[in-house]
Amino acid sequence: MSELQGSEGTTQRLPVIEKAEYEPPPAPEFEPGREAGREGRFWSARRVPAAVVAVLLLAVTALFLYDIAAVRAHRPAMAWRRDLAHQLATRPLDDTWVLVGAGVTAVLGLWLLLLAATPGLRAVLPMRRPHADVRAGLHREAAALILRDRAMEVAGVQSAHVRVRRAHADVRAVCHFRELGDVRADLNTTLDEAIRGLGLSHPPALSVHVRRPGRKG
C-alpha cells in the first residue's frame, strides 16, 4: 500500500502491478497483451426519456380521468373535451393539419422506438475486464486527452489534436523539428502503446497525420 500513497504530483509511470502482502484476490491480473472476450456496449437506463414520457402520459391520463369523473358527478365537461370531440368528428383524414399531426406522431413514435432499442451511451467505450465482476467504461473524451498527452511526449511534436471515435483514433500532429517520417514512426509506436494502455475491449484503429506548422513566426 505504501507505494501508492503520497504520490500526488509525481508524473512517473506506474510500475507493473505487484503482489502485495495483503493476500491478493483470485483476480486475474491485467496483462496488456492478453486477449479477452469482447465486451458489449454499455446500455443507458434511459432515465430522462422515461421521465418525460411518464410525466406527459400522467398529465393526459389524469386530465381525462378528472374530467370524466367530474362529468359522472353531474358537472359540466371542460371546454377542451367538447372542442376535441368536435374536431375529431369534423376534420377529414386528408386535412393538412391532420396529416401534419399524424406525421409528427409517427416520427415521435419511431424516435421512441429507437430510444428503446439502441444502447445509447456512445461516449463510453467498454474496457477489458480486469476481473469477472468489474465492468469498466472509458469516456471517449478521456481517451482522446490521454492519447494527446502521449503524442505530446514525442520529440518534435508541437501540438496534437486527437479525435477518438468508436473504432478510430485520428491524430493530427504539428511537428516543428525532426524529419516528418521519423516523428510519424515515433508517434505510431508511442500511440500504439498508449492505446494498449487504455485497456479498451475494442482498441480503435490508429491513423496519424503529421505536418509542419502552417506559417513561420
Partner 1 sequence: MLRIVNRVLIGLVGLVLLALGGSVLAVGLGAPAPSWWIHQGRHDVLLTDAERTKWQDHAWWWPTVIAALAVLVLLILWWLTNVLRRRRLTEVLVDTGDGEGALLRGRALESVLANEANELNGVAQAHARLTGTRTAPETKVQLLLEPHVDPAIALSYLTAHALTHARNSAGLEKLPTEVRVKAVRHRQERVS
Judged by CB under 8 A, the residue of 17, 77, 180, 205 near partner 1 is: 17
Subset of residues 77 to 116 that bind partner 1, contact rule: CB under 8 A: 85, 87-95, 98-99, 101-116
Helix (H) or strand (E) holding 72: helix 47-72
Task: Quote the CA–CA distance of 85 and 137 in Å, as a whole number.
Answer: 52
Q: What one-character DSSP code corresponds to residue 27?
A: P
Q: Does 2 bind partner 1 (CB under 8 A)?
A: no
CB of 137 to partner 1, least distance (A): 5
Q: In this chain, which of 36, 39, 41, 46 binds partner 1, going by CB under 8 A?
A: 46
The single residue among 36, 41, 78, 124 that binds partner 1, judged by CB under 8 A, is 124
Beta bridge partners of 157: 175
Cα distances from 142 to residues 8, 103, 165, 202, in angstroms, run: 20, 40, 12, 16
Asked whether the beta carbons of 27 and 130 are under 8 A apart, the reply is yes
- Residue 180 engages partner 1 in binding (rule: CB under 8 A): no
Contact partners, residue 145, CB within 8 Å, separation at least 6: 162
Among 39, 49, 182, 188, binds partner 1 (CB under 8 A): 49
From 149-157, 165-173, 181-189, 209-217, give the range in contact with partner 1 by CB under 8 A.
149-157
Shortest separation between residue 71's beta carbon and partner 1, angstroms: 9
φ/ψ of 216, rounded to 5, equals -85, 140
Any contact of residue 173 with partner 1 (CB under 8 A)?
A: no
By CB under 8 A, residue 35 contacts partner 1: no
Question: Does residue 126 bind partner 1 (CB under 8 A)?
Answer: no
Q: Is 40 in the site for partner 1 (CB under 8 A)?
A: no
Taking Cα atoms as reference points, which of 137, 139, 144 lies closest to residue 123?
Answer: 139
